[in-house]
Structure 1
């Protein structure tokens, strides 16, 4: 029987991360679960081992701290059984841009963007060497909609989307699949942690439905999966419009509209 690769999941103690852990466990994958809350990780790991007869390791880490990020990088570099990385850990930030503290903004950027890059960089050389494996980066539709007013959070998620597209362009020809998952509002603890008013939230997608849809996209090898989007032709049109602009970027003179008085 072929042994399935191990999956490392960040932000695995609750919400989307815990649901990914449950789904991959049911598929027979051994897991490495990463989060700050050790007691939650232990409880989840125990139930997954018992229900699915798999190996589950836990790594307590705060992925805003350099030494903890380095610890997960080391595991990704050294553990050749890990061939799937789920970059899920993330946070939101309440309030308007001018009201948010610089420290909070910095921590958000580290967690939502820098850590995603560092962990993807840690595992990708091994995956390229093997010619297989996958990186799943959990972003957000907010990264496409500055009109939502979540400026820094949205910017970090736009970064995750661009990073995923760039990695897909570079790594897919070498056998490594990269998927960006773009949820909309989903029923997780991120809202309360960000200080959001729960009475003013939009309708929320069930986290199980989100992850199940994202895994359908994963099985289909979609580069970008947007579970809440009803009409995928809208995304296709968006992509086509973006690609149509590329030749114009090569012009070595300013466009005519800038040369007219």
Structure 2
């Protein structure tokens, strides 16, 4: 397949496999030259070779660990210096298990990747989008953002941050040609669990979708103008009810008085 209608540069983090690799494929198919970023250099180069053969687009690779401040700065600088059309902040880590089973250093690395990197890269991209008057930012959240878990305290907390951060900046850029989206995957058939020494059997088989299905649904949601895309939520009213409850909650805690039960 070829696409001669080449578009602006798309940068995808965590692109060596799974969701990130599918985003790379789909954006290349749309005609975007790519910069794909991940830690595994060999996997990146293999993917780049495949995409160059499949589509007539340029594909560059950067082997970086975005939890490392100097590596993160390298990509930030790239975002600030190059005319980027799309940033997909897909790189992330689960760090699953109880907090007592990990170290403070590993916890900090997870926060650096899931929060610090997402924030700094988003800000760098948005600075360029603002200057050019357009651009697309896609951040990967997770349904666990709304589901506190004893086995995923830090992961759940970081994804809650990603959701609120992304929705807030979407409000900041409302009415512009800058598109901002947070995608909310549930269980997806990727290396997410196996990379952490876990089995996919943590969820029933029928809970899973493929990475292809996830990305195709997310890109459809983006084209429909969604800020929050829930690919596996069949009934939009569920989300509308959540939003209505959130509004009710905020009104209820804005009384300016201490609740009688605490007096």
- Report the secondary structure of 2:57's partner residue: coil
Partner of 2:243: 239
Pair 1:75-2:78 in alignment: yes
Q: How do 1:171-190 residues align onto structure 2 when only pairs under 5 Å count?
A: 171-190=173-192
In the superposition, the TM-score normalised over structure 2's length comes to 0.93
Q: Distance in 1 between matches of 2:100 and 2:117?
A: 25
Name the structure 1 match of 2:170.
168
Superposed CA deviations along residues 103-125 of structure 1, whole A, max 9, x for unmatched, are: 21111111111100010011111
Distance between the aligned counterparts of 1:129 and 1:92, measured in 2?
34
Separation in 1, partners of 2:243, 2:255: 21
How far apart are the structure 1 equivalents of 2:63 and 2:149?
36
For 1:32 and 1:50, locate their aligned partners in 2 and report how far apart those are by CA, in whole Å: 16
The range that moved more, 248-257 or 149-158, is 248-257
Rounded to whole Å, the distance in 1 between the matches of 2:131 and 2:91 is 26
- The answer on whether the counterparts of 2:66 and 2:72 sit within 8 Å (CA) in structure 1 is yes
In 2: Cα distance, 1:145 partner to 1:102 partner: 23
- 1:41-95 per-residue CA deviation (whole Å, 9 max, x = no partner) reads 1111111112110011111100110000000000000001x11100000111232
Tell me the equivalent position of 1:39.
42
Return the alpha-carbon distance in structure 2 between the equivalents of residues 194 and 144 of structure 1: 22
Match of 2:66 in 1: 63
Residue 229 of structure 1 is matched in structure 2 by: 233
Cα offsets for 1:167-216 (capped at 9, x unmatched):
10112233311100000010111111122134444322111111111111
Given that residues 93 and 195 in structure 1 are in contact (C-alpha distance below 8 angstroms), is that contact kept between their aligned partners in structure 2?
no
Instruction: For residues 150-179 of structure 1, give each alpha carbon's deviation from its aligned partner in whole angstroms, at most 9, with x where no partner exists.
Output: 211111111110111111011223331110
TM-score by length of 1: 0.93
CA RMSD of aligned residues (A): 1.6
Q: 2:52 aligns with which of 49, 52, 55?
A: 49
Q: CA deviation at 1:258?
A: 2.7
Moved over 6 A (4+): none
Q: What displacement does 1:3 show?
A: 4.7
Q: Where do 1:39-188 residues align within 5 Å?
A: 39-80=42-83, 82-147=84-149, 149-188=151-190
- Cα distance in 2, alignment partners of residues 148 and 181 from structure 1: 23
Which of 183, 190, 198 pairs up with 1:196? 198
Deviates more, 1:104-113 or 1:142-151: 142-151
Structure 1 252/136 Cα, relative in aligned 2: closer, same or farther at 3 Å? same
Would you say the 8 A contact 2:149–2:156 is kept in 1?
Answer: no
**Within 1, Cα distance between the matches of 2:201 and 2:219?**
30
Q: Report if the CA contact (8 A) 1:7-1:30 is conserved.
A: yes
Question: Do the aligned partners of residues 198 and 241 (structure 1) sit closer, same or farther apart at CA in structure 2, a change above 3 Å counting?
Answer: closer
Shift of 1:235: 0.7
CA shift for structure 1 position 126: 1.5
Alignment partners' CA distance in 1, 2:220 and 2:68: 33
**Unaligned 5+ residue runs, structure 2?**
none
SS at match of 2:188: coil
Shift, 1:96, TM fit: 1.3
How far residue 248 of structure 1 moved from its aligned partner, in angstroms, is 4.0
